[in-house]
Amino acid sequence: MNRWAAFRLGYVARRNRVFSSARFQHWAARLPLIRWIATRRAAGAFDLLAGFAYSQVLRAYVESGLFDVLKDGPLGARVIAERMGLSESAALTLLRAGRPLMLSEEPAPDHWMLGEQGAVFATNPGVQAMVRHHRLLYADLADPLALLKADRAEPTALSRFWTYAGALQGVTERGEDTAEYSQLMAASQHFVADEVLATVSFRGVRRLCDVGGGYGAFLRHIGTAWPHLQLGLFDLPEVVETGAGLVANALGADRVTPHPGNFFSDSIPQGYDMVSLIRILHDHDDAPAAALLANVRASLAPGSRLLIAEPMARIPGAEAMGEAFFGLYLWAMGSGRPRSPAEIVAMCRTAGFADARLVATAQPVNASIVMAQA
C-alpha cells in the first residue's frame, strides 16, 4: 500500500468517527455554516431512506395515467379523482406526494397541473416504459440480501424478461410484452445514441458495424444524422434479419449489410473502420467481455476504432447510477457488471488495442464513451 492510500484510509476512518459522534452532530446543528452542511447531509440521508417511496410515487403516476390527466390541467382534485377511479382523498394523497418531487404542482388552491419533472415524463412515452419496466427490478429487490446470496443462474423477474426479449422476433400474439420491450429499447437506445451524436464525429468514418445491434435502433439514429455512412449490423441470425430490415426501411437497403452470427463464437466482419458496442460490454461478466473485445480487435485493421458506449461506474456526477442502480440491476439480470472507464481501458489494452481513452459526455447518466484504436 502506498503512502497516499494509507493517508486516505486514515482520513476516512477519522472522518467516520467524528460524523458518528452525537456530540459532533449536536454541535454541527448550531453553527451556521456547519449547520447548512449538516442539513444537506441529513436531507441526503433521508432521501436514501425514502427513495423507494419516491420511485413508487413515480410508478403510480405512470401506471394510473395521472400524467395524461394533468395534461388537461388545471383541474380540481374531485375531477382528477373521478378520471382516475380513486376517492378524492386518495387522489389528493398521490397529488401531494408528487408535489415535492415536481411531478405535480398546485399554483392556486385546488388547481392541479403538471410539475416541471411531470411535464418531462408526460411527453415521453419511452421514459414511461422504463418506469413500468422497473417493477421487475423492484420485485427482485424486495429482499436484496436473498438476491445477493442466490446463485446468479437462478431465474429472477428481470432475467425472465430478458430471456423472453431475446426471443421476441416473429412473436406477435404477446402484444403487451412485445410493446413493452419495443418501447423500452426505443427509449433507452435513443438516450445513448443522442450522447454519441453529441460527442463523437463520424466525418472520417466510412463504414460502421454495430456488434450486438439488435433491431438496429442505434444504427438508425447514427445513419440518419450521418447519411454518408455504410452500415453493418451484426447479431444472432433471427435478430439481424428483422433489424437489418428495419434499418433498410428507414435508410435504404443499399446502406445496410446484415451479418448474422454469434459474437462469442464467430468472427466479427472485417472491412469496417469503426465497430460499436452499445450497452453490450456491461451485460457480460469479465471473461466473456474480454473475449468479445479480443474478437473485435482481431477484425480491425490498424488505425480502425472501437466505440464503447454504456453507463459506466465511478463517473463524476453519475456515481450512484453507475454502481448503485446498474450494479444491482445487472446482478438481478444474472450477468455482467458496470465497469469504470479505467477498467474498460485496461481491458481494451489487454485485448491488443494500441490506445483507449474515456471521452466525456454531457449526460453520463445516459452513457459514457470509451474510444479504442487498433
Full set of structural domains in the chain with CATH: 31-122 (1.10.10.10), 145-373 (3.40.50.150)
User: Using CB atoms within 10 A of its CB, is residue 230 exposed (0-12), middle (13-18) or buried (19+)?
Assistant: middle
- CA separation for the pair 70, 60 (Å, rounded): 14
User: Using CB atoms within 10 A of its CB, is residue 36 exposed (0-12), middle (13-18) or buried (19+)?
Assistant: exposed
Quote the pTM value: 0.86
Return the pLDDT at 167: 55
| All cell numbers assigned to 225 | 444524422
> Please, what is the average pLDDT of the chain?
89
Note the pLDDT tens digit of each residue in 95-129. Answer: 999 999 999 999 999 999 999 999 999 998 888 98
Half-sphere exposure of 218 (CA within 13 A, CB side): 27
Determine the average pLDDT of the residues in 262-273.
Answer: 96
Return the pLDDT at 14: 73
Half-sphere exposure of 95 (CA within 13 A, CB side): 28
On whether the CB atoms of residues 269 and 259 are closer than 8 A, the answer is yes
- Strands (DSSP E) contained in the chain are 104-108, 111-114, 207-211, 230-235, 256-260, 274-278, 305-310, 355-359, 368-373
Return the pLDDT at 227: 98
Of the candidates 326, 369, 361, 366, the one whose C-alpha atom is nearest the C-alpha of residue 344 is 369
On whether the CB atoms of residues 185 and 356 are closer than 8 A, the answer is no
Which residue bears the cell 460524523?
19
Share of the chain above pLDDT 70, in %: 87
Confidence category of residue 47, pLDDT binned at 50, 70, 90:
confident
- CA separation for the pair 216, 210 (Å, rounded): 8
